[in-house]
Every structure is written in C-alpha cells, then in structure tokens.
Amino acid sequence: MRQNSSEDYYLQGIRQRDPQVLHTIYQEFFPRIAQAIRQNSGNETEARDIFQDALMVVFQKSRDPEFQLSSSFYTYLYAVARNLWLKKLRKKDRHWVTIDGEMESIADHPPFLAEELRREAQYQLYRRKLQELGEQCRELLKLSLAGTRVSEIVKKMNFSSKGYARKRKFKCKEQLIKLIRKDPEFSRLNFEES
C-alpha cells in the first residue's frame, strides 16, 4: 500500500524525533487511544504511558528500511497501543475485553480496523506459539518463511538432505499448528477467515 503524504509526515517526524510532529501526533491521536484505555480498566496515567510506549514501538519499527504501513498511521498506532494495553492487563490479571468485545466497541471505526486488529492478534498468537517450539524448529520455520532455499537450509542447519529438511519442516509446521489450535484464544480469532 502506498503511503500518502500525511502517513509519510508522521513516520518521518517520528524517525527524526521532530517535536512539532510528535506534538501533532499527540494532539490528534492520544485522546482516542486514551479513551479506549479508560474504557478498558485504565486511567489517564496508564493511557499516557501506553501511548508513549506505542510511539517508541513505532519509532523502532520505522527505522527498518523495509517497514511499510499496511493501514493508516492511526490504525497502526492504535493496534500497537491496544496490544501493549492488553499485555499489561494480562500481567495485572485484570479482566480484559476479548477480541470479539473489542470489535464491538470499535464499531464506529472503519471496518478494516477490526480486521487489522484481528490479524494483529492472530500474529501475536502465532509468535507466542512459535516461541514454544524447540530451537531447531523455530530456526527452520524462520528460514523457510524468509524464503531461504531448501539447499541453503540444508547447509545452515547441517541436515543430511533436502528430503529430510522438507520432512522436518512439515513436522515443525504441524507442531506449531497444534499449539495454536490448543490455545483458548484460537477460536475467538477466526483463523479460518484469514
């Protein structure tokens, strides 16, 4: 997706730590994100902390030359802040809104926002379950997802043959799928619709 000038403006400003751009981002987006946090067991101080942390995440991501927004800047910032807040709530063991509840509460936003949030939650579940795999499986799947050729994977991982590498990859994917399907969050995220 080609970024429009306002998206470029925000990302450039964050990369360069431009105080004027950061002030604009704060003025335009903080009130909506703070309201969402307050509606989900948070207070003003927590909202400010989460907003700052979300900006830091965007800053880190924007430094990657291959980083591209697949949504509006606000949608991305909101998704990052939301994930940070849900993570904090889980750590505090507070009651938190499910994905389904969250989608209902953002009904006044464009439909793609709910989809974006659902996909982000799916990705986070995938990443958590990937970490539960053994080191060899994690490495093999990461190389495979990065588009590394089978012959390169055989060399890097000291496998005996391409056939073994393919078989091992299949087993690792199978194991990852089982872990994802066993997680209670799986049914709420509607993976089949993706």
Per residue of the chain (194 residues), give pLDDT as tens: 334 467 778 888 888 888 898 889 999 999 999 888 888 778 888 889 999 888 888 888 888 777 777 778 888 889 889 888 888 877 764 433 443 344 333 333 444 445 556 666 777 778 888 889 899 998 998 888 778 899 999 999 999 999 999 999 999 999 988 988 888 777 766 654 44
- 41 burial via Cβ count (<10 Å: 0-12, 13-18, 19+): middle
Q: What is the DSSP letter of 183?
A: S
Record the tokens describing residue 34, joined without a space. 């703070």
Q: What is the pLDDT of residue 118?
A: 65
Whole-model pTM?
A: 0.48
